[in-house]
Chain A
Amino acid sequence: AQTVTQSQPEMSVQEAETVTLSCTYDTSESDYYLFWYKQPPSRQMILVIRQEAYKQQNATENRFSVNFQKAAKSFSLKISDSQLGDAAMYFCAYRSAWAGGSQGNLIFGKGTKLSVKP
């Protein structure tokens, strides 16, 4: 069974600085998807970024980028120029590439709470 581990329960960053959130996963599959979701306080969870395992290039979305190391099974999220609105819980998630059945469900890590200091 696949597992996702976020080893940092809490992180803190100064506004305008850069922070990296760690995520490792365990799988025997070669084709899968990885996600970072953001859950702001009292607000709904939204997708931050997605990475297909077959792609070598790291995904980027504006100030958010990932460092995907497939051999190491590592998928870290880098937030550049941190803003107060980045304060949230961040969840790393894994999904098998197989489309149907329970293998298609997301497996979430336990989350990292990011605080942004003004």
Chain B
Amino acid sequence: DVKVTQSSRYLVKRTGEKVFLECVQDMDHENMFWYRQDPGLGLRLIYFSYDVKMKEKGDIPEGYSVSREKKERFSLILESASTNQTSMYLCASSFETGDSSGANVLTFGAGSRLTVL
């Protein structure tokens, strides 16, 4: 089974701190994603990456950046954490066939719950 591992399950940070959320997948997936999950808002895409060193903004990229130096690792960075970034962060990956075969089911990590005080 594909595994997507998020390094921290729970984090508590202070306003203004730089925060790194790490995500590693072990099945050579091309695609990796960072979502934010808030009650009543569902999942919102922050950033995604289709290849090493490639990144694209999702729906809510403000206040975040990402890094993908290796295929298996996708990091989400909060340069200066703010209280409105308190949330559950979900990392996901998928295999991309390059056609429309649909072999792109997302595999999610367990989530990182970030509290910014």
Interface residues of A (CB under 8 A from B): 9, 31, 33, 35, 37, 43-47, 50, 52, 91, 95, 97-102, 104-106, 108-111
Contacts and interface: CB of A to CB of B under 8 A. Distances in A.
B84 interface: no
Contacts, number: 60
A31 B100 CA distance: 9
Nearest to B48: A105
Given A45-B90, A99-B98, A104 B108 contact: no
A109 B106 contact: no
Interface of B: 4, 31, 33, 35, 40-45, 48, 50, 56, 58, 90, 92, 96-100, 102, 104-106, 108-111
B100 A105 contact: no
A106 B100 contact: no
Contacts of B100: 31, 97-99
B48 A110 contact: no
